[in-house]
Structure 1
Amino acid sequence: MFHPIPLYIGLRYTRAKRRNHFISFISLISMLGIMLGIMALIVVLSVMNGFHQEIRERILSMASHATLSDPNGGGMADWREVLEKVRAHPDVVGAAPFVEVQAMLVGPSNVSGALVRGIVPVEEDQVAELRRDMVHGSVDDLKAGDFNIVLGRDLAQFLGVVPGDKVTVVTPQVSATPVGVMPRLKRFTVSGVFSVGMADYDRSAAFIQLDDAAKLMAFGDAVSGVRLKLTDMWEAPRQAREIAYDLGGLYRLVDWTQVHANFFRALAIEKRMMSVILSLIVAVAAFNIVSALVMAVTDKRADIAVLRTLGASPLSVMGIFIVQGTAIGLIGTLLGVVTGVLLALNLEPIIVGIETLFGVRFLDPSIYYISELPSDVHWQDVVVIAVSAFVMSIVATLYPAWRAANTQPAEALRYE
């Protein structure tokens, strides 16, 4: 069977036992370096993808894709008409009114600030996942006139309350009384506790019934705004603009990409920088091939001279060492992709096992946004990583192969 000479000899050099074992060792280290670099890059990017997805889902489980409000910062008195119009829009999946206020919650043992939101439980199900996140009680206990309140788990623990206890909600608004101007306050009964898994919500969010919130804020029949869930969260900016245009531009409409713009931009920059930093590991491993091939060229000077004497062209000699270095890079790339993908796909049970075995906690929910280490393998990332590593391996072979091609037979055989 015919084999191209550069391919045949290059592959034979790759698998042959060399007289100089140090060269073999350097080649093995280069291969392992490429494998470890690719594996680390795939795992880290998968974790960052999973982290971003988890954060996005948890934020949007409490926030909304878009929010309609009064441009002057006041209440929306015609919110019922707005609800009818937006629910008829083809890009709107659900809509719910809300009343929102920054308040002070006073418990038996502590005082804490919180974002108190008035909702209608049945309508809130259209735009948020509060019902799913309940750990005690039910959102259906939020009934008009009962003055019940649902607290985040960390907030309830800080205030020292459990379902059935009382908390006092103190708002920035004031009321004139016979003894002077006093802040508006109201006693609420804790009817439930929720847990999103994000400290931002579990520690500083509370929910009450919409009518109770309107009374507390003296809004009358108005609300703070209308929250929307759209058909495609990634198209929220465009869809939000279309909805605002259909409403005649009378309302302020903000989508989730604007509310959390800095946060998600920071996550994107972090992922990009981590990719660059970890790519340097692959680059260093790939260019270790240079040292391995330079020593291989020196070790094979006599063989190169014989090949040249027998009629091999400089291009053929160059091809031999390109094949040898490419084989090292290809094997390292394949091993790195396989081990990286397998590790990324099974990362969560591995982390749980390590935490159980050593009694440690890698992500403290009081510090980090999430308490688990999710992994989401994006195959386009895997392809880009593999192709980039393989290309760097090929580039690393060019200089040693060029040196081999310029070996002069007479000089190489002079001292043999």
Structure 2
Amino acid sequence: MILTPFEWTIAKRYMMPGRGEAFIALVAGISLVAVMLGVAALIIVMSVMNGFRAELLDKIVGLNGHAIVQAYGGRLDNWEEVLQDVRKTPGVVSASPLIEQPLLASFNGRVEAILVRGNTQADIAQLGKKMVAGNMSELKSGAGKVAIGARLAENIGARVGDTITVINPAGRSTPFGTVPRQVGYEVAALFEIGVFDYDQAFVVMPIADAQTLLLTGDSIGMIEVTTEDADRVGEILEPVKQKLAGRAVVSDWKTINASLFEALAVERVAMFVVLSIIVLVAVFNILSSLIMLVRAKTRDIAIMRTMGATRRSLLKIFVTTGFVVGALGTVAGLALGFTFLFFRQSIVHAIQFVTGIELWDPSIRFLSELPSRTDPAEVVTISLMALVLSFLATLYPALKAASTDPVQVLRYE
């Protein structure tokens, strides 16, 4: 829709009402601010929701892989053969043996429930990227050293170099009954994955040490699998499921964390719908301000019609006047949203400092920091939605102005 110089001049005049039209200008300003806040809210919330899902998926998958192959009964005896079959499956990037067992740990009289993980040296080296203290390379078979989560270290008061006691209730049988197995391990490193539940429970050691601690011999608990596409993990591992039917179960990240990710998906849709109402309210403000502007300019419209202005010209003038308000609000909303996301962590800390309320509790939110991941397609969708709604809101007032009969308006002038 290209405007002539005449149409653009009149449209600019109506975008900046005079002194006698201050109320109309106020309503138009409120409309612009409302569109800005609505677009900003949508950008912020959708980016945070996307970031939460992506960060949670990255951290969970980074530690547990895309899927787990676990034998019935918890012990995979012929795991070397199964491991080779899994690695040969098309679409599988890597597969490694894993031992995971809930036990207890004590230090200086403090006892905490832990999750012992026996990993290969390659997996331990990967975990080194999350290390916050110590040296992960010291974790070698037979060295008697472990790495523990940063939150677990805080809970029991342990530091690098301290010796913690890992307690295995399923100990050795004696004439006096079963004696829990207690083994001391030196803390060689502290790591922080970023998922609170993991950081407060995991104790990582070489897989051979875990087998010795748990008295499992050469068997392992499960096989960790990473595929080339996390969303297609079920399809990729279908041949493995069929081959291991009755011997082991294959659980992918979608199944293991189904309730969490389904809740996130439902909340994401609900938030989008609710926050879209803000934009809709802003659009009604644009409609109201344009209706008042048309009523205030009825005499001007009639004069322009008698001077040769077409209905099409009047339609374009008022559509432009209202649409520019929506467009400016959309651009301002994008700027506000991206600014908020860039400084999001500082803003959260500032609000916590002022209110004294902890807004982001890692024990509840799973992640240590407020995440954000902006999807360009969603940004475009939100912007187009705001612009289209703003355009539709201008049609009725513009049509009303274009249908003004100059004879009826000027009859008594």
Task: Give the TM bin, normalised by the shorter chain.
Answer: 0.7 to 0.9
TM-score, normalising length: structure 1: 0.87
In the alignment, which residue of structure 2 is the partner of 1:333?
Answer: 330
CA distance in 2, matches of 1:99, 1:163: 23
Identity of aligned residues (%): 37
1:103 aligns with 2:99: no
CA distance in 2, matches of 1:306, 1:281: 38
Where does 1:119-130 land on structure 2 (aligned, <5 Å)? 119-125=119-125, 129-130=126-127
Of the structure 1 ranges 240-249 and 85-94, higher mean CA displacement relative to structure 2 is found in: 240-249
- CA separation of 1:299 and 1:352: change in aligned 2, threshold 3 A: closer
Q: 1:179-223 CA distances to partner (integer Å, 9 max, x unpaired)?
A: 223344433333322221221111111122322322332322211
Aligned pair partner of 1:241 in 238, 247, 257: 238
CA distance in 1, matches of 2:130, 2:305: 74
In the alignment, which residue of structure 1 is the partner of 2:154?
Answer: 157
Q: 1:308-330 CA distances to partner (integer Å, 9 max, x unpaired)?
A: 45566656544432232122222
Query: 1:389 Cα shift?
Result: 0.3
Letter of the 1:39 partner, please give it: A
In the alignment, which residue of structure 2 is the partner of 1:22?
Answer: 23
Query: 1:355 Cα shift?
Result: 8.0
Query: 1:383 Cα shift?
Result: 0.5
- CA separation of 1:325 and 1:355: change in aligned 2, threshold 3 A: closer
1:294 aligns with 2:295: no
Checking the alignment, whether the CA contact within 8 Å between 2:42 and 2:276 is kept in structure 1 is yes
Letter of the 1:238 partner, please give it: E
Where does 1:1-12 land on structure 2 (aligned, <5 Å)? 3=4, 9-12=10-13
Checking the alignment, whether the CA contact within 8 Å between 1:121 and 1:139 is kept in structure 2 is no
Q: 1:336-364 CA distances to partner (integer Å, 9 max, x unpaired)?
A: 234433543x3357548958997987534
In the alignment, which residue of structure 1 is the partner of 2:66?
Answer: 65
Query: 1:97 Cα shift?
Result: 0.9
Aligned pair partner of 1:347 in 340, 343, 350: 343
- CA separation of 1:348 and 1:21: change in aligned 2, threshold 3 A: closer
Checking the alignment, whether the CA contact within 8 Å between 1:77 and 1:223 is kept in structure 2 is yes
CA distance in 2, matches of 1:171, 1:2: 80
Checking the alignment, whether the CA contact within 8 Å between 1:49 and 1:376 is kept in structure 2 is yes
Checking the alignment, whether the CA contact within 8 Å between 1:6 and 1:323 is kept in structure 2 is no
Of the structure 1 ranges 376-385 and 214-223, higher mean CA displacement relative to structure 2 is found in: 214-223
CA distance in 2, matches of 1:78, 1:189: 31
Q: 1:120-144 CA distances to partner (integer Å, 9 max, x unpaired)?
A: 223555xxx4121122333333333
In the alignment, which residue of structure 2 is the partner of 1:80?
Answer: 80
Query: 1:289 Cα shift?
Result: 0.8
CA distance in 1, matches of 2:108, 2:294: 80
Aligned pair partner of 2:226 in 221, 225, 229: 229
Checking the alignment, whether the CA contact within 8 Å between 2:323 and 2:390 is kept in structure 1 is yes
Stretches of structure 2 that go unaligned for 5 or more consecutive residues are none
CA distance in 2, matches of 1:364, 1:74: 34
1:257 aligns with 2:240: no
Checking the alignment, whether the CA contact within 8 Å between 2:16 and 2:25 is kept in structure 1 is no
CA distance in 2, matches of 1:95, 1:332: 51
Where does 1:261-410 land on structure 2 (aligned, <5 Å)? 261-309=258-306, 317-344=314-341, 346-347=342-343, 351=347, 354=350, 363-410=360-407
Cα RMSD (Å): 3.1
Query: 1:226 Cα shift?
Result: 0.8
CA distance in 2, matches of 1:248, 1:265: 27
- CA separation of 1:151 and 1:391: change in aligned 2, threshold 3 A: same
Letter of the 2:194 partner, please give it: G
In the alignment, which residue of structure 2 is the partner of 1:50?
Answer: 51
Stretches of structure 1 that go unaligned for 5 or more consecutive residues are none
Q: 1:22-64 CA distances to partner (integer Å, 9 max, x unpaired)?
A: 1122112212221232123223322332232222222222221
1:188 aligns with 2:185: yes
